Amino acid sequence: MKKIKKYGITDDTLNNIPIVDSKEGNFDKYKKDKKSTTWLIIENNQLRFLQQININNHKYCGFITEPYLLFLDYSKQLSLKIEIIEKSFSEKTTEIIELKEDFKLNLLEQETFDNYLVYKINFIMTIIMSLESYLNNLIPDTTTYNGINKQRIEKEFSIKQKLKDVVPLFKNIGDQKEYESKYSEILRLNNLRNDFAHLKTRAENNNMDSFLNDFESILKLNAKKEFNIVSEFISYVENLEYLSN
């Protein structure tokens, strides 16, 4: 998958675009600090978006990467940071808590433990953002579900609805059981993300903090494994053929 977002553009379209020498243009409104602007770059019948940001009297720019790939790459970076923290645990122990002769707890520095949790939480949030961004971008503009258009599907449908009901509208799901098995792993991770994001108490008269069960699930989560599950699922869907109209 290419990172830079590109669009094909026909010769007819190119011929109808007015061409003006940049030296004759007025760029005053694009010079102010903190100014952000989007430019279109056309080369070899391909259009790319270039975004500008002005900081400290300098004008910087960069080509736009698809959002889901930004999130996917960042979630991988987080998974690597999590591994690094785990490997440092033996050096970050401050005290031994002996509950029984054969059962001892190594108390970690609070900052290390907190960072470990935060990296895992950020990983979960980011990897799910990657998946949902991918699904929204994947849905063709003409897609409708029971009269609901693409824009409403993006905003109103859950990830489960998009995977279960919307993707099969335009992708050829050859093996339904295989497809459901793959996305069930995604839904499990998404449920954890939703539970923690909203911190909802699961039962009445719950005397414990509502986030403790979520923290347990987060702590035992294998970020590298979860990253592979999501990235492999995206590749799997990418390789499914589109249904013919």
- pLDDT given at position 1: 43
Check pLDDT > 80 for residue 8: no
Taking residues 150-157, report their average pLDDT.
Answer: 96
Could you give phi then psi for residue 185, rounded to 5 degrees? -65, -35
Residue 102 CA to residue 143 CA, distance in Å, equals 61
Check pLDDT > 80 for residue 11: no
Amino acid at residue number 206: N
- pLDDT given at position 208: 60
| Contact (Cβ atoms closer than 8 angstroms) between residue 187 and residue 159 | yes
